[in-house]
């Protein structure tokens, strides 16, 4: 069970996973050893699964991104997921409820490459229908 301080700690790490423990401690109003112990506990419990990078706005804005809503044939989920996993432009894949089965987030350096990836998705055996939406801007990212 997470405490409010745990959530604050996770939010700070989400903004910058390289922030020094001493700085975290100061922002949270806790001792350095307490913060270090909380981080270790959150890692041990699997709340923190790893650390990564956040791309700069300059780089991220140079990529063309899109959401692709995908309807699949019955019993085709595993083969479609495997095929999507092999496509480099697919950065994230979600199973969803509703009239579509999956939502894929794609990122490519050009419209041409994005268009080719969308065509490849439509040609995957088991994909019945797609609906694409190009992302114009990101209003909130946490």
Query: Could you tell me the two tokens for 126?
Result: 């088991």
Mean pLDDT for each 10-residue chunk of the chain (142 residues)? 95 92 97 97 96 82 94 97 97 96 97 97 98 91 72
Q: Which of 47, 34, 45, 46 is nearest to 7 (CA)?
A: 47
- Res 26: pLDDT: 97
SS3 141: coil
Which pTM was predicted?
A: 0.71
- Res 138: pLDDT: 83
Extended beta strands in the chain, E state:
64-72, 90-95, 102-108, 127-134
Query: Could you tell me the two tokens for 111?
Result: 């419209």
- Res 111: pLDDT: 96
Q: Distance between CA 91 and CA 85 in Å, rounded?
A: 9
């Amino acid at each position: 069970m997470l405490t409010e301080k745990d959530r604050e700690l996770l939010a700070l790490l989400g903004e910058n996973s390289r922030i020094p423990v001493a700085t975290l401690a100061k922002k949270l109003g806790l001792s350095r050893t307490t913060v270090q112990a909380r981080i270790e506990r959150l890692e041990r419990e699997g709340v923190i699964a790893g650390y990564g990078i956040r791309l700069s706005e300059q780089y991220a804005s140079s990529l063309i991104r899109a959401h692709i809503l995908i309807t699949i044939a019955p019993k085709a989920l595993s083969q479609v997921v495997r095929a999507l996993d092999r496509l480099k432009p697919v950065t994230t894949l979600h199973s969803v409820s509703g009239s579509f089965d999956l939502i894929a987030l794609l990122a490519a350096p050009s419209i041409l490459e994005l268009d080719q990836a969308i065509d490849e998705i439509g040609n995957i055996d088991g994909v019945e229908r797609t609906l694409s939406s190009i992302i114009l801007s990101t209003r909130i990212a946490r």
